[in-house]
Amino acid sequence: MASLLRLPSLLSPSKPLLRRRLPAASSAAGAAAPATAAETRGGDREGQVTPRSVDFNAWYTDVIAAAELADYGPVRGTMVIRPYGYAIWEAIQDYLNVKFKETGHSNMYFPQFIPYSFIEKEASHVEGFSPELALVTIGGGKELEEKLVVRPTSETIVNHMFTKWIQSYRDLPLMINQWANVTRWEMRTKPFIRTLEFLWQEGHTAHATLEEAEKEAMQMIDVYTKFAYEHAAIPVIPGRKSRVETFAGANRTYTIEAMMGDKKALQAGTSHNLGQNFSRAFGTQFMDENGQIEHVWQTSWAISTRFVGGIIMTHGDDAGLMLPPRIAPIQVIIVPIWKKGDEKAAVLEAVDSVQKILKEAGIRVKVDDSELRTPGWKFNHYEMKGVPVRIEIGPRDVANKSVVVSRRDVPGKQGKEFGVSMEPSILVNHIKDRLEDIQASLLQRAITFRDSNIVDVSSYGELKEAIAEGKWARGPWSASDADELKVKEETSATIRCYPFEQPDGIKKCFMTGNPAEEVAIFAKSY
Amino acid sequence: MASLLRLPSLLSPSKPLLRRRLPAASSAAGAAAPATAAETRGGDREGQVTPRSVDFNAWYTDVIAAAELADYGPVRGTMVIRPYGYAIWEAIQDYLNVKFKETGHSNMYFPQFIPYSFIEKEASHVEGFSPELALVTIGGGKELEEKLVVRPTSETIVNHMFTKWIQSYRDLPLMINQWANVTRWEMRTKPFIRTLEFLWQEGHTAHATLEEAEKEAMQMIDVYTKFAYEHAAIPVIPGRKSRVETFAGANRTYTIEAMMGDKKALQAGTSHNLGQNFSRAFGTQFMDENGQIEHVWQTSWAISTRFVGGIIMTHGDDAGLMLPPRIAPIQVIIVPIWKKGDEKAAVLEAVDSVQKILKEAGIRVKVDDSELRTPGWKFNHYEMKGVPVRIEIGPRDVANKSVVVSRRDVPGKQGKEFGVSMEPSILVNHIKDRLEDIQASLLQRAITFRDSNIVDVSSYGELKEAIAEGKWARGPWSASDADELKVKEETSATIRCYPFEQPDGIKKCFMTGNPAEEVAIFAKSY
């Protein structure tokens, strides 16, 4: 129940006190003041956040605490998503919600309590999910006759309702989505990446033909891919899961696989062609144009708060987060700087005017004019939070009618531009240009990182070597499920996907030497 | 598990068949076609929807089915919110989300599983909520050491986290909100109004002083009041709850009380001044400006999917729903009309152009050009769905470059305008005017209805009479909690609130004859 996010160093009484005094001692704006809770928790990165280059996992956990993205909940494995982390999730929601509606889906809401008997109806579904279920057994003070499952996913209850709503081919396609919480009793948890309860959207559709369902499943993995590339600056590799890795209840699972900063793979979104598995289990039938009764063909697809973890682990450096401008809750932070009392009014007036100019241009801008913090503290704090652009305005800038602009993705002096005009149209264009540059540069950096860490292998030995180096291995594969499990056992790597993008020419399975139609990507994963 | 929303009449085999044939027989547009599931479930109101004037409760349930707002879930008391009903909830969310952020609140997310021991920490809270709890006792196949409560509300877990985050007065105020599902094991349920699981927003704030907390609680009931009046066209009465009706754990509860079409009261939103009840139970303390350690002062406030039920039950008539334009998912429905094949192209071209004009003006417009339905069927269907404005376009309209406009709130010929010009600026202004008229007229109608059904009483006898007539009784009250419970026992009426708006002058309690500072409103309620 204690905050695991607080580092042990915080428990020693001397260090926090030392840190509390430092900002006041070097204060340029405002008098010394008692530390706030925020200060003792984050923002002052020295001594608190493990450098990314030293220990990636520790950095990840530290950054989540220091940037106030999330905290641990009182129940093991649960997570509280704090406002800054939730704002990233809202940016994801805003984009996807528009795309889902454009592609013909309506939002709705299904109850989270599912009769236990529903889960048992689809054989592979129950096998996949039953070890992870949370069960409600008492309601209103009484033992329930039938245990209720807290939804781990909604295919079963969706099909129960679809069966009531669908009768004719004219009711098809039925295409819906819900934003909801889901519960899976995970043993090893990690903030955002794997938690007992998480937030997601789950799309569910029913179609008259297999072809339509396949087209829908592909369309949605394409929506996710575009989102990842264009907004989150994550160069995911879209592809098909192996049989072993396919969703419990699906015929085919499509996935987007992302390479994290430690080179481990993250499954960042999935789209399933469910075939008729659930419609047969739940009797979801329709009368086709010829008067024949048929089972519907279905899909489901989901992206979750895990994606926020993916964003954190793709970008970032020793100084903290690095957020792609398109999903950054704050795109520009303005820090006023003054030393003498009589400078203050003019500086704050300029800050206010610059803020208005940027806000009107649709840029998400925040001013930190707190007098409890030094400008230096603020620089570190908003770097930790990954804000893409910082604007500094001091008395000299006011005199010159200009500002100082710094890019989060280019540290130090190289990323700093002096004398950027305050003239509204010039300033707005300048900032928009920088935001676009940063967006493109984060993506390019991630592509370069990804491509330099994928090794093409033509033997099992080469695969083992690549995996041992922490890299991804890509090679022709047509071996058995048993061979796939053997690779997992011996190397901890799994098939992440058969990528949609395939090399031309005849291939030989690197494991068996038999002909192979496709290359597969193997990697260790979260 | 059967759909309780389907009326018995639907189970008789002849009626649906008859109804299925009717639209085709009288078809003006398109050939006869097999019925779709939607047709057998709703839209064709004759014989399906009980008139509002005959049986209000049956009308309510029928309209929810026929307008496809919701359906029953498989677990007793749960509800599936269908796309049209969910879109109304999204309109509520969109408005409130902006207001919450404007008033300084950030969205975030707390886990829904709360250790049972948390609920027990605040004495009146546990007393109020323990009969309604759903408990998770099994997770991942194992009996849990401590039962987990599926959140009925989040004060306890919020305070647990606030205690970690708050140390100094500089951390205050802390003002957050979450959109979430909550679970209360209710015995008597009713779609939207009272369900085992529902959706809501819950705001939680912590302040340095009682005064600030009180101001916040009042501010939020004011936000709700404005929303109800200006967007939902519901003339709620804001006021303070009696001690008996105060939230379990609050010092004061403010409420907005709405009069439904059957004159019963609906508590449509609440805002609580929690005092230091939860901060004392959870040790949520801060150091004030003088270095003193104090407990924080708190508020919480919520509006839920129950509000959708309130909208349905406030407006509407025998023909179905009547949605206020500002929250209507579809503000304008366009129905094309043609008889001969060669008329079709010109009509659809005009329809398309009118749709574009309205869409560009920011109006939520939909075209129903399905050839499987007659215009008459469509008229009924969108009346049932409460769409505020209908536009008809036929060949004569195309020739005259005009359209026919009908208002949902004025039935028959009186609400119909012919020859409204298609010229973009004229048409847009005309439709916007009508939408505003309808919005204002729905509110005015509800105010008149409310005011004509509140009786000022000066004796218990008068109260009994008013309540027996199904009306609200308003009278001076300073009697005891026991007297209040006696009124409830004898009349089924409870104190809905002490309204903020109070008459001047000295008052005498209608029950005891003692001096009374305030009038209270008594009514039967949902």
Q: Which residue type is seen at B223?
A: V
Q: Which residue type is seen at A304?
A: S
The last residue of one of the domains, among A77, A103, A130, is A77
Q: Is the dihedral of CA A309, A314, A317, A321 positive or negative?
A: negative
Choose, out of B6, B71, B112, B289, the residue to mutate when testing the contact with A (most A CBs < 10 Å).
Answer: B112
With the CA atoms of B87, B88, B94 and B95 taken in that order, what torsion angle do they form, in degrees rounded to the nearest 10? 160
Coil, strand or helix at A302? strand
Judgement on whether residues B398 and B468 belong to the same structural domain of the protein: no
Dump pLDDT digits (tens) for A464-508. Answer: 999 999 999 999 999 999 999 999 999 999 999 999 999 998 899
**Which range is least confidently modeled, A44-58, A155-169, B104-118?**
A44-58
Coil, strand or helix at A360? helix
Q: How confident is the model at residue A237 (pLDDT cuts 50, 70, 90)?
A: very high
Would you say A249 and A125 are in contact if contact means Cβ atoms under 8 Å apart? yes
Judgement on whether residues B161 and B224 belong to the same structural domain of the protein: yes
Residue identified by tokens 């809401």 is A109
* pLDDT value for B122: 83
Residue A494 β-bridge partners: A523
CA-based radius of gyration for chain A: 26
Dump pLDDT digits (tens) for B269-310. Answer: 999 999 999 999 999 999 999 999 999 999 999 999 999 999
What letters, b where the CB count within 10 A reaches 16 and e where it falls short, cover A310-324?
bbbbbbbbebbbbbb
| Residue B434 φ then ψ, to 5° | -60, -45
CATH number reported for the structural domain that contains residue A394 in this entry: 3.40.50.800
Residue A219 neighbours by CB distance under 10 Å: 15
A-chain CB neighbours of B38 within 8 Å are: 171
Check pLDDT > 90 for residue A377.
Answer: yes
Taking every pair of Cα atoms in chain B, the longest distance, rounded to a whole number of angstroms, is 85
Q: What is the DSSP string of A234-258?
A: ---EEEE--TTTS-TT-SEEEEEEE
Within a domain: A448 = no
- The residues near B506 (Cβ < 8 Å, ≥ 6 apart) are B515
Judgement on whether residues A238 and A330 belong to the same structural domain of the protein: no
Would you say B320 and B67 are in contact if contact means Cβ atoms under 8 Å apart? yes
Share of chain B above pLDDT 70, in %: 91
**How many residues are listed for chain A in this entry?**
526
What whole-number distance in Å separates Cα of residue B323 and Cα of residue B409? 9
Q: Which residue type is seen at A271?
A: S
What whole-number distance in Å separates Cα of residue B249 and Cα of residue B247? 6
- Alpha carbon B206 to its chain's center: 27
What are the helix (H) ranges across B26-82?
Answer: 37-41, 56-66
Which of A113, A176, A181 faces B83 most closely, judged by CB atoms? Answer: A176
Check pLDDT > 50 for residue B5.
Answer: no
Which of B81, B130, B139 faces A108 most closely, judged by CB atoms? Answer: B81
* pLDDT value for B449: 98
Within a domain: A3 = no
Q: In 3D, which of A52, A524, A525 has the Cα closest to residue A312?
A: A52
Q: Are strands A197-207 and A174-183 parallel, antiparallel or unpaired?
A: antiparallel
What whole-number distance in Å separates Cα of residue A493 and Cα of residue B459? 81
Q: What is the DSSP string of A42-69?
A: SS--TTTSPPTTT-HHHHHHHHHHHTT-
Judgement on whether residues A299 and A371 belong to the same structural domain of the protein: no
Would you say B258 and B301 are in contact if contact means Cβ atoms under 8 Å apart? no
Q: Which two tokens stand for residue A218?
A: 């592909």
CA distances from A255 to A258, A494, A499 (A): 10, 14, 9
Judgement on whether residues A54 and A198 belong to the same structural domain of the protein: no
What whole-number distance in Å separates Cα of residue A411 and Cα of residue A383? 10
Q: In the predicted model, what is the mean pLDDT of residues B376-405?
A: 97
* pLDDT value for A26: 34
Check pLDDT > 50 for residue B244.
Answer: yes
* pLDDT value for A412: 87
Q: In 3D, which of B205, B204, B208, B206 has the Cα closest to residue B169?
A: B208
Q: Answer yes or no: do B81 and A197 touch at CB < 8 A.
A: no
CA-based radius of gyration for chain B: 26
Shortest Cα–Cα distance, B90 to chain A (Å): 9
Residue B200 β-bridge partners: B180, B304
Q: In the predicted model, what is the mean pLDDT of residues B462-471?
A: 98
Dump pLDDT digits (tens) for B47-100. Answer: 479 999 999 999 999 999 999 999 999 999 999 999 999 999 999 999 999 999
Q: In the predicted model, what is the mean pLDDT of residues B226-242?
A: 98
Residue A292 neighbours by CB distance under 10 Å: 10
Dump pLDDT digits (tens) for B132-146. Answer: 999 999 999 999 999
What are the helix (H) ranges across B235-339?
Answer: 277-282, 306-314
- Alpha carbon A83 to its chain's center: 15
Judgement on whether residues B310 and B335 belong to the same structural domain of the protein: no
A4 touches chain B (CB under 8 A): no
B-chain CB neighbours of A81 within 8 Å are: 108-109
Q: In the predicted model, what is the mean pLDDT of residues A387-405?
A: 97
Residue identified by tokens 């006696």 is B486
Q: Pick the residue with more confidence: B31 or A298?
A: A298
Q: In the predicted model, what is the mean pLDDT of residues B156-175?
A: 97
What whole-number distance in Å separates Cα of residue B320 and Cα of residue B59? 8
Q: Are strands B332-336 and B365-367 parallel, antiparallel or unpaired?
A: parallel
Within a domain: B74 = no
Within a domain: A463 = yes
Complex prediction ipTM: 0.91
Would you say B66 and B52 are in contact if contact means Cβ atoms under 8 Å apart? no
Judgement on whether residues B197 and B257 belong to the same structural domain of the protein: yes
Dump pLDDT digits (tens) for B26-37. Answer: 333 333 333 444
HSE-CB at A474 with a 13 A cutoff on CA atoms is: 19
In terms of Cβ atoms closer than 10 Å to its own Cβ (0-12, 13-18, 19+), residue B150 is buried
Residue A198 β-bridge partners: A182
Check pLDDT > 70 for residue B41.
Answer: no
Q: In 3D, which of A344, A343, A206, A228 has the Cα closest to residue A280?
A: A206
Q: How confident is the model at residue A341 (pLDDT cuts 50, 70, 90)?
A: confident
What whole-number distance in Å separates Cα of residue B213 and Cα of residue B295? 12
What whole-number distance in Å separates Cα of residue B217 and Cα of residue B224? 11
Q: Answer yes or no: do B196 and A113 touch at CB < 8 A.
A: yes
- The residues near B352 (Cβ < 8 Å, ≥ 6 apart) are B367
Query: What's the first-to-final CA gap in chain A, in angstroms?
Result: 24
Q: Answer yes or no: do B81 and A109 touch at CB < 8 A.
A: yes
- The residues near A242 (Cβ < 8 Å, ≥ 6 apart) are A481, A484, A495, A497, A498, A520
Residue identified by tokens 């100084």 is A319
A71 touches chain B (CB under 8 A): yes
What whole-number distance in Å separates Cα of residue A340 and Cα of residue B99? 38
Q: In the predicted model, what is the mean pLDDT of residues A452-473?
A: 98
Dump pLDDT digits (tens) for A342-371. Answer: 899 999 999 999 999 999 999 999 999 999
Q: In 3D, which of B499, B501, B491, B502 has the Cα closest to residue B524?
A: B491
Would you say B494 and B488 are in contact if contact means Cβ atoms under 8 Å apart? yes
B138 touches chain A (CB under 8 A): yes
Q: Which two tokens stand for residue B347?
A: 């009509």
Residue of A nearest to B85 (CA): A108
Before A235, cis peptide (omega within 30)?
no
What whole-number distance in Å separates Cα of residue A98 and Cα of residue B134? 35
**Structural domains of chain A, count:** 4
- The residues near A97 (Cβ < 8 Å, ≥ 6 apart) are A107
Q: Are strands B113-115 and B134-139 parallel, antiparallel or unpaired?
A: unpaired
Q: Which residue type is seen at B220?
A: M
Within a domain: A476 = yes
B25 touches chain A (CB under 8 A): no
The last residue of one of the domains, among A314, A346, A376, is A314
Judgement on whether residues B246 and B154 belong to the same structural domain of the protein: yes
What whole-number distance in Å separates Cα of residue B273 and Cα of residue B253? 6
A109 touches chain B (CB under 8 A): yes
Within a domain: B158 = yes
Q: Which two tokens stand for residue A521?
A: 């990507």
The last residue of one of the domains, among A314, A336, A355, is A314
With the CA atoms of A217, A223, A224 and A225 taken in that order, what torsion angle do they form, in degrees rounded to the nearest 10? 100
Which of A36, A81, A133 faces B170 most closely, judged by CB atoms? Answer: A36
Residue identified by tokens 């001690």 is B243
What whole-number distance in Å separates Cα of residue A364 and Cα of residue A328? 8
Within a domain: B75 = no
Within a domain: A345 = yes
Q: In the predicted model, what is the mean pLDDT of residues B493-506?
A: 95
Residue of B nearest to A106 (CA): B83
* pLDDT value for B79: 98
Check pLDDT > 70 for residue B489.
Answer: yes
Would you say A175 and A166 are in contact if contact means Cβ atoms under 8 Å apart? no
What whole-number distance in Å separates Cα of residue A68 and Cα of residue B442? 46
Judgement on whether residues A135 and A282 belong to the same structural domain of the protein: yes
Q: What is the DSSP string of B137-158?
A: EEETTEEEEEEEEEPS--HHHH
Judgement on whether residues A60 and A90 belong to the same structural domain of the protein: no
Q: Answer yes or no: do B113 and A180 touch at CB < 8 A.
A: no
Helix or strand (DSSP H, E) at B93: helix B83-102
Choose, out of A4, A10, A80, A184, the residue to mutate when testing the contact with B (most B CBs < 10 Å).
Answer: A80
Q: How confident is the model at residue B438 (pLDDT cuts 50, 70, 90)?
A: very high
HSE-CB at B226 with a 13 A cutoff on CA atoms is: 9
Share of chain B above pLDDT 90, in %: 86
Domain that holds residue B42: 8-68
Q: In 3D, which of B111, B71, B105, B302 has the Cα closest to residue B207?
A: B105
Judgement on whether residues A135 and A190 belong to the same structural domain of the protein: yes
Choose, out of B97, B136, B159, the residue to mutate when testing the contact with A (most A CBs < 10 Å).
Answer: B136
Please give the mean pLDDT across all residues of chain B. Answer: 91
B104 touches chain A (CB under 8 A): no
Check pLDDT > 80 for residue A205.
Answer: yes
Work out how many CB contacts closer than 8 A connect A with B: 200
**How many residues are listed for chain B in this entry?**
526
Judgement on whether residues A220 and A130 belong to the same structural domain of the protein: yes
Coil, strand or helix at B276? coil
Please give the mean pLDDT across all residues of chain A. Answer: 91
Q: Which two tokens stand for residue A175?
A: 């295409």
